[in-house]
Structure 1
Amino acid sequence: MEYGYARVSTKEQNEQRQIIALEEFGLNLRQIFIDKQSGKNFERANYQRLTRRLKEGDTLVVKSIDRLGRNYNEILEQWRIITKEKGAAIVVLDMPLLDTRKNRDLTGTLIADIVLQLLSYVAQTEREFIRQRQAEGIAVAKAQGVRFGRPPLVQPKEFPTVHQAWLKKEISAREAARRLSVTHKTFLRWAHEL
């Protein structure tokens, strides 16, 4: 059996380019597993489902090695588990040298191992560069006064009256929050800011 795996890092990203490549390989959507999650590790629901399904003689197809993951050691470990323990093959469409269906002799295995290690290293390095660029961008934006996250809620005009009733123990914090249409936590934060 042949399976495809596609991954993008966020829900906003589009995996269609990978799907098209996998379909051109000959897979249909029922054979393709998709995750919308970071490649920092392999704790991804659909990837786990896929690897549980893989058995000896099956083939796993990915568009590129970084779609499998971006952690050097874990990519190498997953590669070993799939090809050695499970006895399945892996095909990386963007890198024909990483097709374990062929060249299973010693030289072919050596070349595939070297290429795999190099590409895994590049994938992890790129992930680290992405994180560094994000941190730098966030630092610059904060220095320029950009605020991140949701804007703080404005206290309703009824807050002082409700707050006084709560201070006098006439109502509970939960009741105060309900009257102000905010969460219990928000009410308590406002109450303790005074």
Structure 2
Amino acid sequence: RLNIPTLSDLGNSLSEISDKWQELQEHQVTVWILDCPALRNHSDLFGEFLKYVSYSQQQFGAKQVRSSSASKGGLNPGRKPMQLPHNFTEVYEDYCSGKLNSREAGEALNVSHTTFLRWTRELNQA
């Protein structure tokens, strides 16, 4: 019989605890977890429960990896960027010359002034 103060003494992760529990059960060691007396009478069921939870965590982790890699597979989950309107250069020249402010330029292009300003910043950075 092995008395341990708490279940975490068997390992740092659930898989470690489950592996250690399985190893002890294979050697027919009765494990008493002192801070959980209810497990003393049901240690065999607890071992099965540990295996199930460990397996579920592994499956859940694999599912997360699959879903995150699928989302990175060249697909952009966000909105598609707006294309520059055909009259952007004329409106941009009027904006640079001071004939239009950013709000007027945005209205002329049917976009918000912030979108127009972002386009001008991107154009200046290129």
The TM tier, using the shorter chain, reads 0.3 to 0.5
TM-score, normalised via structure 2 length: 0.47
Higher fraction of helix: 2
Q: TM-score, normalised by structure 1?
A: 0.34
Comparing both structures, which one devotes a greater share of its residues to strand?
A: 1
